[in-house]
Amino acid sequence: MRDTGSVAQFNRIARRYDSSLGQYGCRRADPDVLAAAADLSPETVLDVGCGTGRLLALAAGRWPRALLHGVDPASEMIRVASEKLPRARLHVSGAERLPFPNRSFDLVFSTTAFGHWQDQPAGLREIARVLRGAGRLVLAEHRPPPRWARPLLSVIGGELPAHRAPEEMRHLLTQAGFEVRSIGRVRGGLVLAVAEPAS
């Protein structure tokens, strides 16, 4: 996450996170996120910024034989996810230093965590490192707020997440070694990028 304050905030709200109003858009986008990998039969799945494990639980239903992994820098979020997903392998970790060997995963998700990463290029390079050659990244994030709203949002909520417009996200993915298959808006007001390691 971008700062220890964000991690502390997510630790404080972990128990009520799934029922928070902010999760409404994420839940609406979940079918689109899963559909972006519907043609795959992954043996290993990683959720970067897994939070309370909501998306991993859906992935378990979609791919019941897949080995599920999740990372999140907020230890209380991992604790809640562990209660939901006792068979998943969950770690307290940020995106920038994933605790996995090279080419470990067939599919990597990240939903509404990207804006909180401390170093987005480094996190994307780490995902490229742990993805297998035929693997896929499905990355969903909120669109940036309008310029006129940013000062007000900063006053209300402090430091804003680093949300990216689609063209910025495409550039970051390409620079990290991905080939972007598609990028665009989906339900819940999110931008969804689908990318694979460049050959």
Report the distance separating Cα 128 and Cα 78, nearest Å.
23
- The closest of 132, 116, 129, 112 to 47, measured between CA atoms, is 112
Q: What's the pLDDT score for residue 147?
A: 55
- Residue 73, pLDDT score: 96
CA 32 to each of CA 7, 16, 146, 188: distance values in angstroms, whole numbers, following the listed order: 27, 24, 24, 10
- The terminus-to-terminus CA distance of the chain in angstroms comes to 30
Q: Give the residue extent of every domain in the chain.
A: 4-197
Identity at 45, one-letter amino acid code: V
Phi then psi dihedrals of residue 167, to 5 deg: -70, -35
pLDDT digits (tens, 9 = 90+) for 86-127: 999 999 999 999 999 999 999 999 999 999 999 999 999 999
User: Which residues of the chain register pLDDT less than 50?
Assistant: 1-2, 146, 148-150, 152-156
CATH class of 4-197: alpha beta
The stretches of 40-199 forming alpha helices (DSSP H) are 54-62, 75-84, 120-130, 150-157, 166-175
Are 9 and 72 in contact by the 8 Å Cβ rule? The answer is no
